[in-house]
Amino acid sequence: MNEATVNYYTNVYADKAPAQLDWTAGTAEPELVSMVYEGQIKAGSKILELGCGLGTEAVFLAVRGMNVTAMDLSEEAINVGKNLANLYGTNVNFIQKDLLESDLFDEEFDIITDHGCYHHMTEAERETYVSKVTKYLKPNGMFILRCFSDMIPGGPQPKRISSDDMIESFHQKFKLEHMERVLSFSTKRYSKPIGWFTIWYKK
């Protein structure tokens, strides 16, 4: 991943407590919770979480019976996630790695979920990102992508993602099942639906 993003997350997790971070919810986002409770994500599913941050969603999935691998750039965030998993008495395979590095896994996952990783990719990195998700997801596997949308006021990073951006990136390898704007990534400044919640299936 681009150096600016790597440096930002390396430093921010080292310098701030979790409650000081705008994106920290302390729990799984409601869209993911609903997918588990409604049976779209089934117990025993082999799941890869990209950009897991402090590990709250990874631990939630593990508590609900999933086989979870969770990766993030930040060693500090990964350490918090490990402590959280230990507190709940559950097992998550936490990995401190960059998704764009070559050949991280020699296995395929039933589900890949991303809540806040894709929108940090530069346009040049998106092709590699899609190739990695495609490689690590089994045929007909589910890809859950949640990211910043173009409803958020402008800024260089994270990228403001339009529906066309996502469709352009994924349409050749994935079938779009669901797309909606949700309250994910909301802060005191942004209180309306500003994030994308999308579900895709690998062709």
The whole-angstrom separation of Cα 99 and Cα 113 is 13
Rounded to the nearest 10 degrees, how much is the dihedral formed by the CA atoms of 170, 131, 105, 200? Answer: 10
Cα separation of 158 and 121, whole Å?
A: 8
pTM of the model: 0.88
Q: Which CATH number fits domain 30-190+197-202: 3.60.9.10, 3.30.70.270, 3.40.50.700, 3.40.50.150?
A: 3.40.50.150
pLDDT digits 0-9 by tens, 17-43: 666 666 666 679 999 999 999 999 999
- Kindly list the domain boundaries of the chain, sorted by start residue: 30-190+197-202
C-alpha closest to that of 52 among 67, 35, 70, 66 = 70
Starting from the edge strand earliest in sequence, which strands make up the sheet with 67-72, in order?
93-96, 67-72, 46-50, 109-115, 137-148, 195-202, 174-182
Q: What is the distance between the alpha carbons of residues 36 and 43, in angstroms, rounded to a whole number?
A: 8
Looking at residue 26, its pLDDT comes to 66
- Residue 193: which pLDDT band, with cuts at 50, 70 and 90? confident
